[in-house]
Amino acid sequence: MSMFKVFDISGSAASAQSQRLNTVASNLANADTVAGPDGKAYKARQVVFQTELMGAGGALGADGSAGVRVTTVREDDTPGRRVHDPKHPGADADGYVTYSNVSAIEEMVNMISASRSYQNNIEVMNTAKGLLLKTLQMGQ
Amino acid sequence: MINRLTDALSFQTEALVLRSERQRLISGNIANADTPGYVARDFDFAQALREATAAAPATGADAGAGAGARRASAVLRYAAPSQTNLDGNSVDMDRERAAFADNSVKYEATLRFINGSVRTMLDAMRSHHGG
């Protein structure tokens, strides 16, 4: 019964989206973090999605169910913004404070997109569940 | 003898299996809405059903195996992207949601057709006792 695989597919996608949401939460929490004594500030992290083939053959054939998995969590290497604030305890020798390179706007957009995709997958699972329950009552 | 009872249902059975297959494909597309490079896939339901039911030696023990092989040969097509995307993803969420809703309703309709046929047959069996 191929409909049962819908739960694997949508479940993997929901899990991947929730990891994306976790990353966004971590980024937003660290949006105003300044560099520590080592001079390195927090770097924004992004998850990278990849199609995960769940079919028996593993190829994109007739049975190639396409789930999602997170392959890597990439760190954004753009330099963080520097603010001149000599009185700040985190200021370097020139009086500059290095903040993290998190862009709050980008993260908010990312959050909304992840949340919508998560909801979509949950809805797909609910529909599949309803249809399967009705299939169980077939002939009654 | 029992074949005559099940033959009436075999068309709807094929349709139901193809519907669930399509449901799985569409949910795969929705799951990969944010995956870079993923290309949305779908198949022509009418054509697949025609192929599944046309050359059907629906009698005999190998009918089930034959149907499985025919289903496996259903051609998967790649959806033409309606809007180009920088990451190469061709999932059109509006289209997929519409196809998903459409397919769920039709799956349920097929189920009701089967239930209706079963009820008709049961009524036919019972009528002897009642009248």
A contact test, residue of B18, B34, B90 with most A CBs within 10 A: B34
Partners of residue A117 in chain B, C-beta under 8 Å: 33-34
Partners of residue A1 in chain B, C-beta under 8 Å: 20
Out of A12, A68, A131, whose CB is closest to B108? A131
Cα angle vertex B59, ends B67, A61, to 5°?
5
ipTM above 0.95, yes or no: no
Q: Which residues of A45-82 are buried (b: 16+ CB within 10 A; e: fewer)?
A: bbbebbbbbbbeeeeeebbbbbbbebeeeeebeeebee
For residues B67 and B56, is the Cβ–Cβ distance under 8 A?
A: yes
Query: Average per-residue pLDDT in chain A?
Result: 87
Higher pLDDT, B85 or A29: A29
Answer yes or no: is pLDDT of B6 > 90. Answer: no
Query: Average per-residue pLDDT in chain B?
Result: 81
* Averaged pLDDT, A36-58: 80
Out of A2, A10, A120, whose CB is closest to B21? A2
What local confidence, expressed as pLDDT, does residue A95 receive? 87
- Across the A:B interface, residue pairs with CB atoms under 8 Å apart total 96
B42-84: per-residue pLDDT in tens? Answer: 888 888 888 888 765 544 444 444 445 445 556 778 877 777 7
Out of A62, A114, A139, whose CB is closest to B76? A62
Partners of residue B24 in chain A, C-beta under 8 Å: 2-3, 5-6, 9, 65
Cα angle vertex A121, ends A120, A122, to 5°?
95
Partners of residue B32 in chain A, C-beta under 8 Å: 13, 49, 51, 66, 68
